[in-house]
Structure 1
Amino acid sequence: MSAALASADHGIVTVDTGFQRPIFDAAYLLIENGRAAFVDCGTQHSIPALLGALAAHGLTPAEVDWLILTHVHLDHAGGAGALMRRLPNARLAVHPRGAPHMIDPSRLVAGATAVYGEEEMARSYGEIVPIPQERVVVADDGYVVDLAGRPLLCVDTPGHARHHLCVWDQRSRGWFTGDTFGLSYREFDSARGPFVLPTSSPVQFEPEPLKRSIRALLARDPAGMYLTHYGRVGDAQRLGAELIEQIDAMVGMARAAAQPGGEGLHERLTAALADYFAARAREHGSPLSEAQVRAALAIDVELNAQGLEVWLARGG
């Protein structure tokens, strides 16, 4: 079996999409009674890994009934349109706020191209392909995807983005969390277990809704959380409490950094966040050196700072 796959547990296979680096961006293949669903899909460049996962488990693209997106950020959904062209019988389930961007991705592409440039868009994400409206199912809060008799409950979970949903699988007593339950990179694991930190988005981060979403996930007393970044983690109650604690700390840092006002907010905030997460990694017993921790989290610190700054500008 490919190193990109983890063995199926409760019919759930973790697929490394290959986005950016190994063991960074996961999609999930769910298998039930000879039928399949994907939760998230990575980018257009991820399609060979996804189709390879099907083949490794004796399935064909025609046996995939669903592609479920937790949200439409490109590391989760950039390859959705291209993948759907390879899955003749699949429907796409997506949050009501995300559905228009999958049917007509032009605004999504324009916004991302303005940030990354055309060359980086092609390198990292490939082509963003529209999905015919008749194949798109709007998954309102409480919508149940039926995978060959296996119910997959879609729950509205704002905070990271307003177009975010999480998926509850009663069979595994697990949540597919997208980015709502933060980031847990495997190289940070220690004797204490997984290390976790929150992730904002540059335009829609909302601390209080995010904390409410995390508490809603914990209320089901899950046995496991299936994160996009990266893989299944247990110990959900501890991790959830740590996420809420960190969100409050991030808000405090943002407000403190904004106090002097004017120039230098971004530099003050990124420095405070980097110091904070590095200290938490040390306390966790991470096997990485401090320099490695800071390098591994540099992009996430930058994104969290951007999200906090936009939130402050909206009156946070």
Structure 2
Amino acid sequence: MQDHAITIIDTGYVRPGLCAAYLVESGGRAALIDCGTATCAQTVLAAIDAAGVPRDVVDWLMVTHVHLDHAGAAGPLIRALPNAQLVVHPRGAPHMIDPTRLIAGAKAVYGEAMFERDHAGMLPVAEDRVVIADDGHIVELAGRPLLCIDTPGHALHHYSVWDAATRSWFAGDTFGLSYRELDTANGAFALPTTSPVQFDPDQMHASIERLLAKSPESIRIAHYGEVTECTRLAADLHTQIDAMVGIARDAHGHADRHDRIVDGLTRLYTTRAVAHGIQDADARVQAILGGDIAINAQGLGVWLDRQVRAG
């Protein structure tokens, strides 16, 4: 083991470079932050072994939120990590103890076939191995405090983890998506993630600002890896949140609303990709971001429906 090491783990979800977990080491103990889907559990365990970290020194499995690409493997992993406790947002804890509704919701979003391919094998986590992370909760990792703060916007059950030792955040999906294939000489290319069902633009804006308030040196995101230039990327995310909400509102009331949102998002990201210096932007946005565009459009549609119901 390496003291104060942080190891990125590619969970293997869907494709390489899509979904990350992070192994944090301190004083001969370890914490795992996010863990991929249930089908990724063996990949994550193999990565822990390859890092030279004995499974019985992993004290904490911290899930930033309970979407299945972040927490689906929690049940299998808790069974394989004998001393680990699951650290989860209070809104997410019931779904880890009894994942029935979580599974049903994922099937509604992804469909039965995709669920079986990418998510099958979820297991409940025993209640006595669940620790609730209220806003401000501190996980002690052998003298290395990991601070959990509430960061809704992507999901109401989302927290982010501040690591003072490296002046960095583990931000799950709060700080958007940034795939390394889209890096250029201008740096990282980032966009918000508005997947169903709890996207809230005001909360997302506020959560991004809460991350920036620590003046982080870097932010580690689930999709995918470590990003710097945090102030510039935050400004990019703020601009796009507003633009995405505008696209959704313009599509409201049209029978082809979802298609209009998809088209609007595609144009938005492609225009930004060209400005960022991404070569062959039309094709690469579609190839790399096509799935995210569809999911973001779904989430914006859910948000629109909620606005209508609220009057």
The alpha-carbon distance between structure 1 residues 288 and 227, as it changes in their structure 2 partners (threshold 3 A), is farther
CA drift at 1:290: 1.7
- Structure 2 residue aligned with 1:230: 224
Q: Could you list the runs of 4 or more consecutive aligned residues of structure 1 that deviate by over 6 angstroms after TM superposition?
A: none
1:272 aligns to 2:264 (yes or no):
yes
- Structure 2 residue aligned with 1:291: 283
Give the 3-state SS of the residue equivalent to 1:203 in structure 2.
Answer: coil
- Structure 2 residue aligned with 1:4: none
Give the 3-state SS of the residue equivalent to 2:307 in structure 1.
Answer: coil
Q: One-letter code of the match for 1:147? A: L
CA drift at 1:295: 2.3
Of the three residues 51, 58, 70, the one matched with 2:64 is 70
Give the 3-state SS of the residue equivalent to 1:211 in structure 2.
Answer: helix
User: Any conservation in 2 of the 1:187–1:288 contact (CA below 8 Å)?
Assistant: no
State the percentage of identical aligned residues: 55
Q: One-letter code of the match for 1:79? A: A
- Structure 2 residue aligned with 1:147: 141
CA drift at 1:43: 1.5
1:214 aligns to 2:208 (yes or no):
yes
Q: One-letter code of the match for 1:167? A: V
CA drift at 1:257: 2.0
Give the 3-state SS of the residue equivalent to 1:108 in structure 2.
Answer: helix
How do 1:87-236 residues align onto structure 2 when only pairs under 5 Å count? 87-236=81-230
CA drift at 1:142: 0.1
In the alignment, the residues of structure 1 paired with residue 47 and residue 9 of structure 2 have an alpha-carbon distance, to the nearest angstrom, of 7
User: Any conservation in 2 of the 1:16–1:26 contact (CA below 8 Å)?
Assistant: yes
Give the 3-state SS of the residue equivalent to 1:277 in structure 2.
Answer: helix
Uncovered stretches (5+) of structure 2, i.e. residues with no partner:
none
In the alignment, the residues of structure 1 paired with residue 111 and residue 246 of structure 2 have an alpha-carbon distance, to the nearest angstrom, of 33
Q: One-letter code of the match for 2:285? A: V
In the alignment, the residues of structure 2 paired with residue 313 and residue 62 of structure 1 have an alpha-carbon distance, to the nearest angstrom, of 46
Uncovered stretches (5+) of structure 1, i.e. residues with no partner:
1-6
1:312 aligns to 2:304 (yes or no):
yes
Q: One-letter code of the match for 2:260? A: R
In the alignment, the residues of structure 2 paired with residue 311 and residue 83 of structure 1 have an alpha-carbon distance, to the nearest angstrom, of 33
The alpha-carbon distance between structure 1 residues 11 and 310, as it changes in their structure 2 partners (threshold 3 A), is same
In the alignment, the residues of structure 2 paired with residue 8 and residue 119 of structure 1 have an alpha-carbon distance, to the nearest angstrom, of 41
For this pair of structures, how many residues does the alignment match? Answer: 308
TM-score by length of 2: 0.95
Can you list the C-alpha shifts for 1:107-166, whole angstroms capped at 9, x where unaligned?
111222234344422210121100000000000000000011110000000000000000
Q: One-letter code of the match for 2:243? A: A
User: Any conservation in 2 of the 1:189–1:287 contact (CA below 8 Å)?
Assistant: no
- Structure 1 residue aligned with 2:54: 60
- Computed over aligned residues only, the root mean square deviation of the Cα atoms, in angstroms, reads 1.6
In the alignment, the residues of structure 2 paired with residue 218 and residue 288 of structure 1 have an alpha-carbon distance, to the nearest angstrom, of 32
CA drift at 1:210: 0.4
The alpha-carbon distance between structure 1 residues 113 and 256, as it changes in their structure 2 partners (threshold 3 A), is closer
In the alignment, the residues of structure 1 paired with residue 142 and residue 242 of structure 2 have an alpha-carbon distance, to the nearest angstrom, of 41
Can you list the C-alpha shifts for 1:145-202, whole angstroms capped at 9, x where unaligned?
0011110000000000000000000011110011000000000000011000000121
In the alignment, the residues of structure 1 paired with residue 45 and residue 156 of structure 2 have an alpha-carbon distance, to the nearest angstrom, of 30
Q: One-letter code of the match for 2:194? A: S
User: Any conservation in 1 of the 2:270–2:281 contact (CA below 8 Å)?
Assistant: no
The alpha-carbon distance between structure 1 residues 257 and 218, as it changes in their structure 2 partners (threshold 3 A), is same
Can you list the C-alpha shifts for 1:231-282, whole angstroms capped at 9, x where unaligned?
0011101001110011011111111222xx2312111111111011011011
Q: One-letter code of the match for 1:246? A: Q
In the alignment, the residues of structure 1 paired with residue 158 and residue 2 of structure 2 have an alpha-carbon distance, to the nearest angstrom, of 26
User: Any conservation in 2 of the 1:188–1:288 contact (CA below 8 Å)?
Assistant: no
In the alignment, the residues of structure 1 paired with residue 111 and residue 196 of structure 2 have an alpha-carbon distance, to the nearest angstrom, of 17
